[in-house]
Amino acid sequence: MKNEYLQPYTSFFERSEDEYIFMENLYNVQRDVNIIYNRFYKKLVDDVKNDRGIDIESYRDSSFNHLLHQYPLQSSSDILFGGLHSSDLVSPDCKKASKIKPVTIYVGVSSSSNFYDFGDNFINISPNSYIFNLIVSLGTKVAFERIPLKAVKRAKNEITEFRIKASIAHELSHWIDNSLHSVMDNIAGNPIKYSGKDLSNKLLLRKHNVNATYYELQAQIHGIAQIKKVYRAQWDKFTLYDLFNAYTALHEVARSLASDPEELNQWLKDLVKRMSREGILGKNMKLPVNVNKLLYEKITRI
């Protein structure tokens, strides 16, 4: 495989004739993250926090009903609060992305969790449906009493402002990456043929696990930036362990990489380096970490 085939896809350094342009940065999505959160999840988070019971109807916004009939997921357990079209978004990078590759954003609680579907042009946003359903049936207090002690802290972080905002920013950044730089279309969607072979994530990016690719890292960084906004005052006290407890997606990534220690270590290094560059690496996150201690168990049993 020649290097020039790898060059355009291995980083956000873009090459034009005789110069490289540094393209990697955090997108400005804040206003839309806040709007989506406030409109659809703020009351849910307050109800969970205060053990008021879950009132699904009260999270729905009828002015965002018109897109719901197009919802491509067909699980009867999915609950939709609303749907937005990206042309309604207001932050600068979302507006740019919507002009190139508009998407519909479905907001609610679904077992399929958070993702950006670059083929069918939609984004699905959902907090942890397992914790949500547990709280629906038992109430907040009893639900958390049923969770194994070592997982309670993480379970309590799932339906919170910082966790949900992290998911929204994560998926918006995937969509903007793809709109402005065709990141997924080039790599995951249409593998490039080289010597008769499809060049996939694995061959092109030299990563076995999608979670360790630079475009997932880019989205993880957007999520961490949201957590920092909410925890600004305590950020320098946070260790990497605290961060992984707060942004549970990170420990899911670590777990998914556990069988490949080399890739896990490289991912963690890449993550910390990028955090440092973006000014979101708290002082205590520079303390030594035992990588194996980041591999918590999944919260699945009660």
Q: Which is nearer to Zn ion, 158 or 216 (CB)?
A: 216
168 binds Zn ion (CB under 5 A): no
CA-CA-CA-CA dihedral for 163, 232, 176, 85, to nearest 10: 60
- 14 forms bridges with which residues in the sheet? 21
Residue 73 identity: L
250 binds Zn ion (CB under 5 A): no
Q: Which is nearer to Zn ion, 133 or 209 (CB)?
A: 209
CA 280 to chain centre: 16
Q: Which is nearer to Zn ion, 117 or 242 (CB)?
A: 117
268 binds Zn ion (CB under 5 A): no
- 207 in helix, strand or coil? coil
H/E stretch holding 105 reads strand 104-109
Q: Which is nearer to Zn ion, 44 or 219 (CB)?
A: 219
Strand 104-109 versus strand 122-125 pairing type: parallel
Q: How far is the CB of 202 from Zn ion (least distance, A)?
A: 17
Q: How many CB atoms lie within 10 A of CB 164?
A: 26
The values of phi and psi at residue 249, to 5°, are: -60, -35
Binding mask 206-235 for Zn ion (x = CB under 5 A): ----------x--x----------------
125 binds Zn ion (CB under 5 A): no
Q: How far is the CB of 249 from Zn ion (least distance, A)?
A: 8
State the number of binding residues for Zn ion (CB under 5 A): 2
Q: Does residue 29 contact residue 218 with C-beta atoms inside 8 Å?
A: no
Q: How far is the CB of 256 from Zn ion (least distance, A)?
A: 12
Q: Which is nearer to Zn ion, 91 or 173 (CB)?
A: 173
H/E stretch holding 162 reads helix 161-181
Q: How far is the CB of 110 from Zn ion (least distance, A)?
A: 16
Residues that bind Zn ion (CB under 5 A): 216, 219
